[in-house]
Structures are given as structure tokens and as C-alpha cells.
Chains A and B, each alone.
Chain A
Amino acid sequence: GAVVSQHPSRVICKSGTSVKIECRSLDFQATTMFWYRQFPKQSLMLMATSNEGSKATYEQGVEKDKFLINHASLTLSTLTVTSAHPEDSSFYICSARGAGATYNEQFFGPGTRLTVL
């Protein structure tokens, strides 16, 4: 149980294009999903928290107009990196917290490696 998938696993795009990443909870309903970014040899950095049916809450310093998050259902959240630039190249990882989770454990997707040329 508690499986989270992400798609795509890897994407290479040209500077200026937009990239959409999907995060799905496969065997549970996720009331809350989280989006993280991780640069090489650094720890996870929380970008935003999304709750189903409401606007995402962004961490300080994260541009909400650049990183668009949609959490349309209890099993799907999407992150769109708009007008991507080389400095956006990173490992993007989503996680999900199940509905009724008592202790707020998060289960991570496999991640999406974004390379912007």
C-alpha cells in the first residue's frame, strides 16, 4: 500500500517551454500532496503544499506564477514549471499524505528529473 507514482520520470526541454509533472496516489486517497525540489547533494526543499480542491500554499521564495500546482482530485496533483530556464533543472519529487493519516507520514513518488537546455 501507499504507492505514489510520478510522470514523467525524466524530461529534457528547451529554455522557455513549460513542463507538466503528474503525481498520483495509486492505492489511497491523498488529501494533501507536497512538492519538493532537490539539487545535487542537497537536502529536500519543500516548494508547496496542495490540498484537494483548494489553492496551493507556497513556501517563502517560491514563485507561485512560475510553479503552478493543481490538486484536482484526491489522487492527482500536477506541477507545471512555466517558462523553464536552466536554473530550474532539478529533481522534483512529490509526496502524499493519506486521508485520515494519524501521524502525518508522507509517501514519496519516484521523482522527476528535469533538465532545461
Chain B
Amino acid sequence: QKEVEQNSGPLSVPEGAIASLNCTYSDRVSQSFFWYRQYSGKSPELIMSIYSNGDKEDGRFTAQLNKASQYVSLLIRDSQPSDSATYLCAVNPNDYKLSFGAGTTVTVRA
């Protein structure tokens, strides 16, 4: 089983809709969870971090964490064409390393 698994894409949503991205992780002791956005040909950019169970909102982004279910998600509200990118879920299971999922590619249709 992979350490971090993301729902397979690509995910296509119409402009203005909600894009929902899911991620599960295997290591129960993980404490820190991150979502990175990566545009084609560019490096990842940290867009959300979450450490406690529940929801965390930042602008149009909402991260949700459920440690009991080992599940973290990202919602993008009012999706814009500029949100079209690959979204990487990252989990910090131990020491300083991050374990990354394979990524979910999102395409927002104008």
C-alpha cells in the first residue's frame, strides 16, 4: 500500500463549480498535512496546511482532515481556469520528510 494515495484524475469541472480532491494516508502517526499546487512545467507551491481534525478555510480553498479515517481533502470553491493544475497531497509521517501522493490533475472548463 502506498503511503499517500490520491483519487485518480484527471478531474474536469466547469468554471464556478466546486472541485473536490481526496487523499488517504497509511501512517497513523502523521501529524502534518499539506496541499501543494503544481502548474505544468513549474515546481510545487504550498497552498494549504492542516494539523488538526476539522476544516480549515483560506479564501476559496478548504482543507478537511479526519485523522481517525486517515483522510484529508481539499475543496476548491468557485473554480477558475487559473486553478487548472496538478494538486499534490503531502503527509509528514516522521522526521522531516514529506510523503507525496501521485497528484490529481484538475482542469477547469471555461
Q: Taking beta carbons and an 8 Å cutoff, which residues of A are in contact with B?
A: 32, 34, 43-44, 46, 49, 91, 93, 97, 103-111
Q: Is there an interface contact between A44 and B49, defined as CB atoms closer than 8 Å?
A: no
| Contact (A103, B100) CB under 8 Å given A44-B88, A108-B43, A109-B43 | no
> Can you list 25 pairs linking A and B with CB atoms under 8 Å apart?
A32-B96, A34-B97, A43-B88, A43-B102, A43-B103, A44-B44, A44-B100, A46-B97, A49-B97, A93-B43, A93-B44, A103-B49, A103-B92, A104-B92, A104-B98, A105-B34, A105-B46, A105-B49, A106-B46, A106-B98, A107-B46, A108-B44, A108-B46, A111-B42, A111-B43
Name, among A91, A103, A104, A111, the residue most crowded by chain B CB atoms within 10 Å (CB to CB).
Answer: A104
Number of B positions contacting A (CB below 8 A): 21
Counting chain A CB atoms within 10 Å of each CB, the highest count among B36, B46, B96, B103 belongs to B96
Could you list which residues of chain B lie within 8 angstroms of chain A, going by C-beta atoms? Answer: 31-32, 34, 36, 42-46, 49, 51, 88, 90, 92, 96-98, 100-103
In angstroms, Cα B43 to Cα A108, docked, is 7
